[in-house]
Amino acid sequence: MQQHTLVLASRSPRRQNLLRQIGLEFDSIPSTVDEHIDETVSPVAHVTILAERKAHDVARTLAAGIVIGADTIVVHDDEIIEKPEDADDAVRMLRRLSDQRHEVFTGYSLVEVPSMRVLTRHVRTEVWFRKLADDEIRAYVASGSPMDKAGAYGIQDDFGAVFVRRIIGDFYNVMGLPLCDFYCAYRRFTNQDHEGCNGIELA
């Protein structure tokens, strides 16, 4: 049973739906931090640093509770691909990912207030796209759906769902929050651990 005030440092509808899927009640307070980061850092550092920044940004405004911060990126050929700047950028991204393998990294951070105790983790998933026709790409971009998503696609979208031919790893990680890993981390963080999560290493 949830015993803590929980706050998601985002208004992302995908992350909200995922948290509700595992039965959590929460408020949404979007972080206002600058998400620009040194481009030389690794993908893991990128997502974990930003997840912590977002969580701490909102945690400083609260008297008590637990804040969740998260960040998701797509990586192709060792280059980080974030959200598209405009429709042309989204078309370019999707053409690049067509018939290619890429990686999705999500970092998440739990910050407890007022102790400021923190747990930050990341999960990586490999994704393969089939070859995309140009009319498919343009129709998807015209729908507006890619514009707020890393890599310009959502695996849960009508079009995005049929672009992906294979994944290795957590499907929900590609949506923006690795549910199994997060669920076990949250239970451990709130002293609700149980034997079903013993195989998840949270050191």
- Active-site residues, by number, are 71
Any residues with CB less than 8 A from the CB of 162 and at least 6 apart, and which?
A: none
Tokens representing 113 are: 């207030």
Tokens representing 32 are: 């206002």
What Rg, from alpha-carbon coordinates, does the chain have? 17
Any residues with CB less than 8 A from the CB of 28 and at least 6 apart, and which?
A: 7, 8, 10, 11, 16
* Integer Cα distance of 110 and 116 in angstroms: 9
Q: Residue 128 belongs to what H/E stretch?
A: strand 118-129
